[in-house]
Homo-oligomer: A and B are copies of this chain.
Amino acid sequence: MLHEALMKLILRKHYDSITVQHIIDEADVGRATFYAHYAGKDDLLRRGFDHFRAELFETRAQRPNGDATPQLNFSSVVFAHVERFKDIYRALVGSKASSIALREFRRLMVEAIRPEIAKCDHPRVPRELLAHFIADSIQSVVMWWVELHPELSGAVVHEMFRELVAPVLAGACREARFAAAAA
């Protein structure tokens, strides 16, 4: 209920101007109750990403990536998710909440990418940096999408993402180019 209330409010007004009072009014919940569960509105927002995490890794589990080629299976799940909550993301980017939301988003992406590129090895770039780089690549495309071109479909933007990232992977992972083009 609290998460839903927060999302409703985010669509209605700027995140920074939302107070705990607004949230509990919207959710029809007592003040003490709120603080019994969450440390504050930022905490509430952060924990909202738990749903996304569950969704993401559930899909990952279904499609295990056995071979050495990074297929970035999860990226389509990510773009589908963002498309679903596009309005929320657009509202979050550009508020002070973005430091929380983007940070959480980034953590998730790195976590999801790490196993994908476990077998890769770039000659001159540490694998950890590569993981962060790809994570931020997703974030980059997503931000451009929701902020400047929300009219585009998830599939189209996803394809642009693949175009941009494929050559990077090609430099680090054997046959990554083909894998990226195929999936």
Residues of A within 8 A of B (CB): 94-100, 102-103, 122, 124-126, 128-130, 132-133, 135-137, 139-141, 143-144, 148, 159-160, 163-164, 167-168, 170-171
CB neighbours of A139 from chain B (8 A): 136
Q: Are A148 and B163 in contact (CB under 8 A)?
A: no
Partner of A141, one of B94, B129, B170: B129
What is the distance, in angstroms, from A40's C-beta to the closest C-beta of chain B? 12
CB neighbours of A133 from chain B (8 A): 137, 140-141, 144, 164
Q: A147 — nearest CB in chain B belongs to which residue?
A: B132
CB neighbours of A100 from chain B (8 A): 96
CB neighbours of A167 from chain B (8 A): 167-168, 170-171
Partner of A163, one of B99, B102, B124: B124
